[in-house]
Structure 1
Amino acid sequence: MNKLFTTIFALAVSSVTVSGLAQEAKGDAKAGETKNAMCIGCHGIKGYQASFPEVYKVPMISGQSGKYIASALHAYKKGERKHPTMRAIADSLSDQDIADLAAYYSTSGLVAGAELPAKPAEPSAEVQALLNKANCSSCHGANFSKPIDPSYPKIGGQHADYLFVALKSYKVENNPKVGRGNAIMAGMARQYTNTELKQLAKYLSSVDGELKVVPQGKFR
């Protein structure tokens, strides 16, 4: 185990404790379905694109881990994730609101009995080398949809352009509006050039995953 991975593992253990504290409220999926009016305008439209900090498809969040959604919203609320729109939305939510939305989206669109392959299709040798460099599967799972801790995201099948923007954001420093303050992912992302991050994002988007866009029947 190299020095970087040892340091990252220690930070990961610490972050699990923090993320566990962040979601003390028990989520109610039915309540969350009544609170997602600010979510569906972007995440409930297939192909919807954001324009800040660049044009990219907004992430699919239906089927995502509830603990990850809660952790992400708390990070926006605390300013650890610097996105003006998401910061404003997260600021408007109580801890109970966040827990309810997380519970709702964690079950939204999931098909009972559906199983993903244990491992995705083999990547090219070049991409495999990039995956090995940060040992991505050690946290996100062998098929990138079963992370070792539910506060880590499922990334298999996520939009490539979103993954690319998200990965780049971990490398941003001293920008009041862009960036993500996660020491673990910052250490990982900085090992790669942006061209390499784009290769990783393209591959990860191609594998089977549980994430999807579930269109809203009507806006409220």
Structure 2
Amino acid sequence: MNKLFTTIFALAVSLATAAAHSQDIKGDVKAGEAKNAMCIGCHGIKGYQASFPEVYKVPMISGQSGKYIAAALQAYKKGDRKHPTMRGIAESLNDQDIADLSAYYEQHGVNAAAAPAARTAKTPSPAVAALLAKANCASCHGADFSKPIDPSYAKLGGQHADYLFVALKAYKVENNPKVGRSNAIMAGMAKQYTNAELKQLANYLASVEGDLKVIPQSKFR
């Protein structure tokens, strides 16, 4: 356990350093809207499914934290996330492009003038509650899984269950050139679970009300 906490601390320091370095780059929402042609073909179609490494719905990114989107794109660009299509897209983006797209999708579909919607907390079954407690998921992703303690962590509430399952399994993969996610914290968490348990977690998180949406792109731009 001490080794895991040491790893977590080292990664946190690394993330803080990277965040400080990137603060000079400010995202522009309008610029992001003009740059999202490669995004809308998958993330702007309700029910759209990817087929690698298995069939699953592509994640909802409208309403996701901008800092998380930026961190994810940088991870694909560096190869820490190994999905070939997403890596190819991320490699075509510079840091300003990533900042602009992240700023755009963070506010996409968000009505800033509207009062926050009231949500009914969904109580997990005792079995799922035990699984959530095992890795203390809420300690990072927030009590309702939509208010993470750091904006570079993902909002999970309401995300597609099949995508969450594939993503969680990816943290357990090692030594595969095309599949896997290199994140010491999440790998340590995910490896505590069987795939059947990860599916239970994914199904519960998908059932929780959240901020994430799929917003179809207008035919006219």
Task: Find out whether 1:189 has 2:190 as its counterpart.
Answer: yes
1:94 corresponding residue in structure 2: 94
Q: Give the Cα separation in 1 of the matches to 2:64 and 2:49.
A: 19
Tell me which residue corresponds to 2:52. 52
Seen in structure 2, the aligned counterparts of structure 1 residues 138 and 11 have a Cα distance that, compared at 3 Å, is farther
CA offsets, 1:145-181, max 9 Å, x none? 0001100000000000000000000000000000000
CA positional deviation for 1:218: 2.0
- State the 1:25 CA deviation: 1.3
Q: Secondary structure at the match of 1:172?
A: coil
1:6 offset after TM fit, Å?
3.2
User: Cα distance 1:142–1:24, how it changes in 2: closer, same or farther (>3 A)?
Assistant: same
Which runs of structure 2 are paired with 1:40-189 in the superposition (5 Å)? 40-112=40-112, 113-115=114-116, 120-189=121-190
Q: Which amino acid counterpart does residue 204 of structure 2 have in structure 1?
A: Y
CA distance in 2, matches of 1:120, 1:160: 18
Partners of 1:49 and 1:219 lie apart in 2 by: 24
Contact between 1:73 and 1:90, CA under 8 Å: does it hold in 2? yes
The answer for unaligned runs of 5 or more in structure 1 is none
Change in 2 beyond 3 A, CA 1:169/1:107: same
Q: Where does residue 5 of structure 2 map in the other structure?
A: 6
The question of whether the paired residues in 2 share the 8 Å contact of 1:8 and 1:184 is answered with yes
Measured at CA, do residues 149 and 219 of structure 1 come closer, stay the same or move farther in structure 2, by a change above 3 Å?
A: same
Structure 2 Cα separation of the partners of residues 15 and 134 of structure 1: 22
Question: Would you say the 8 A contact 1:16–1:149 is kept in 2?
Answer: no
TM-score normalised according to structure 2 size = 0.93
Specify whether residues 214 and 82 from structure 1 end up closer, same or farther in structure 2 by C-alpha distance, changes over 3 A only.
same
Q: In the alignment, is the contact (CA less than 8 A) between 1:160 and 1:204 conserved in 2?
A: yes
Q: TM-score, normalised by structure 1?
A: 0.94
Alignment partner, residue 199 of structure 1: 200
Q: Aligned pair in 2 of structure 1 residues 48, 114: CA closer, same or farther (>3 Å)? A: farther
Q: Between the two proteins, what is the percent identity of the paired residues?
A: 72
CA RMSD of aligned residues (A): 1.8
**Given that residues 172 and 191 in structure 2 are in contact (C-alpha distance below 8 angstroms), is that contact kept between their aligned partners in structure 1?**
yes
Alpha-carbon distance in structure 2 between the residues aligned to 1:23 and 1:45: 32
d(CA) in 2 for partners of 1:15, 1:129: 31
Change in CA separation of 1:193 and 1:116 when aligned onto 2, cut-off 3 Å? farther
Contact 1:23–1:99, Cα closer than 8 Å, also in 2? no
Deviation at 1:118, TM superposition (A): 7.4
